[in-house]
Chain A
Amino acid sequence: MKITLIRITFFLALFLIWYLVVAITQIPSYILPGPLDVFESFYIGFIKGNYLISIFYSMIRVLTGYFMALGIGIVTGILLARYYFLDITFGRSILSLQSIPSVAWVPLALLWFGISDNAVIFIIILEAVLPTALSTKNAMKNIPSNLIKAAQTLGSRGLHLYKNVIIKAMIPELVTGLRLSWAFAWRALIAGELFVSGAGIGQTLELGRALADMSQVIAMITTIGIIGYFTENVFFGIIEKRVRIAWGVE
């Protein structure tokens, strides 16, 4: 309760300083708008404008890319864990791919897929598939071997062993990996959308720049931050915590 009060006071003070700085220095609003201008952008954008539609289209893109990446990444990860040859060849190249930031794939994606949704989804998949594959591989390699031995001596093998032991034992580490992949997917989405046409958060942000409407730019940056925070920390945070409790990790 006390902490909440301190936080509210802190943010109110921050807004007040922002307001005063803009009011006193008379900075033009296309460089730094005041907080009221940004609130107005939010209000108009959400009530009358296209912010909700932008968010909707962006969500469809990111979820499409993310779920495709999960499918590919989990299968790849299991193969990497099972086959040593794949791990020392393909597995190594995955590691080096991961150090490429998503925005570096944009020119390639645009040439392959044009200025379209597919280009964005391609970038999202590229970004999210790597952490998914790596965390799946690690989750599988870190299964306590005694769990598998115990299951085998109890008569479990093949599909029963995979379904009831291997996959289940992987879940806590896998969920952490899925959260990481989501963070990558979210960043890749915005990077990709800045370069393509159509409705979306990134496009709205870029439109703000084109119109020198800094209020809209700041409103969109804030929206990206809020959605990112709630999905990464609140949504995945809750799932991760529940799984860890159910699995007795905590």
Chain B
Amino acid sequence: MLEPKIKFENVVKNFKTSSGDNHILGNLSFDIFAEEFVCVLGPSGCGKSTILSLIAGLLKPSSGKVIFNSKLVERPDSSRTLVFQEYALFPWLNILDNVAFGLTTKNHGKEKPQKKAMEYLNLVGLSEYKNYPVNQVSGGMRQRVALARALAVEPEVLLLDEPFGALDQQTRENMQNELLRLWMKTKKTVIFVTHSVDEALKLADRILVIGGKPGKLLFDATVAVSRPRDLKDSHLINIRNQILDNLTHPDFFMGSDI
């Protein structure tokens, strides 16, 4: 049987606060396979971002196991790169040097960082802006730079934390198409966190619906609809209704602190 790329085994995550433990994730288990485009969907505060941090190795589970390529995740490395809603670009570097950043670490010392960075800048269509300071380009362009930076180190898994949440509707749609194009071209495993059902329906092969407090897996939907997708497609409407049913499920509210 095919080994999963990423495996969560009974993962629990608590944060210690002054007023006791804050339970973020409760006993979460799922598998994600290579080259899958998975959306993690849920309301704010359900622990979606925590899932990405656990996969990236920025956080450790309180109990349970996070497994990547059959090995326990110990710490962050460039096989799993993360893209943030607020871009997190380095403001003291120009666009090209931002993309080249990961290539300057010792794992990539052999190749010329700037040359390879240029390839990825081309890929996102920003090669003519290579010398611009990052704070002088639009939000959509910044997120393209962040994508190019995350892809340039050739990760196996691309983690995206509500990456288009700060963009206007038009830019957001362009970026969604751009991401699908990049995914088809580079064949990464993509894990995309969003709170928008429509965004998940438009992008994902599979949607993991997370909810409650602590967060649990409420629903695991496979979206076997070819792209580009029309959200009025009856199959998608069907999945949409199932997701919404699960998000408003009584268990979801019973588990939350009201």
Measured CB to CB, the residues of A under 8 A from B are: 144, 146-147, 149-157, 160, 164-165, 168-169, 171, 246-249
Contact = CB atoms under 8 A, between A and B. Distances in A.
Most buried by A among B77, B80, B86, B107: B77
A242 B109 CA distance: 32
Interface in B71-93: 75-78, 80-82, 84, 86, 88, 90-92
12 contacts: A149-B56, A149-B88, A150-B146, A151-B90, A152-B56, A153-B58, A154-B101, A154-B153, A155-B107, A156-B101, A156-B105, A165-B90
Contacts of A165: 90
B78 A150 contact: no
A150 B104 contact: no
Contacts of A146: 84, 86, 88
Contact of B82 (A153, A169, A246, A249): A153
Contacts of A164: 101, 104
Given A147-B90, A151-B90, A168-B92, 19 more contacts: A146-B88, A147-B88, A149-B88, A150-B146, A151-B101, A153-B56, A153-B57, A153-B58, A153-B77, A153-B159, A154-B78, A154-B150, A155-B153, A157-B76, A157-B105, A160-B105, A169-B92, A247-B92, A248-B134
B150 A152 contact: no
B4 interface: no
A19 B150 CA distance: 70
Contacts of B76: 149, 152-153, 157
Contacts of B86: 146
Contacts of A169: 90, 92
B131 interface: no
Nearest to A150: B88
B119 to A, nearest CB: 16
A169 B101 CA distance: 14
A147 B101 CA distance: 12
A149 B104 contact: no
B165 to A, nearest CB: 14
B81 A154 contact: yes
A175 to B, nearest CB: 12
B70 to A, nearest CB: 20
A161 to B, nearest CB: 9
B101 A153 contact: no
B106 interface: yes
Q: Which 9 A/B pairs are nearest by Cβ-Cβ distance?
A: A248-B135, A154-B102, A155-B78, A146-B88, A248-B91, A152-B76, A150-B88, A155-B105, A153-B82
A117 to B, nearest CB: 38
B133 interface: yes
A249 B84 CA distance: 19
B235 interface: no
Interface in B127-143: 133-135
B88 A160 contact: no
B108 interface: yes
A153 B78 CA distance: 5
Nearest to A248: B135
Contacts of A151: 90, 101
B206 interface: no
A49 B115 CA distance: 61
Interface in B44-65: 53, 56-58
B202 interface: no
Interface in B17-46: none
A168 B84 contact: no
A155 B153 CA distance: 8
Interface string B85-128: 01010111000000001101111100000000000000000000
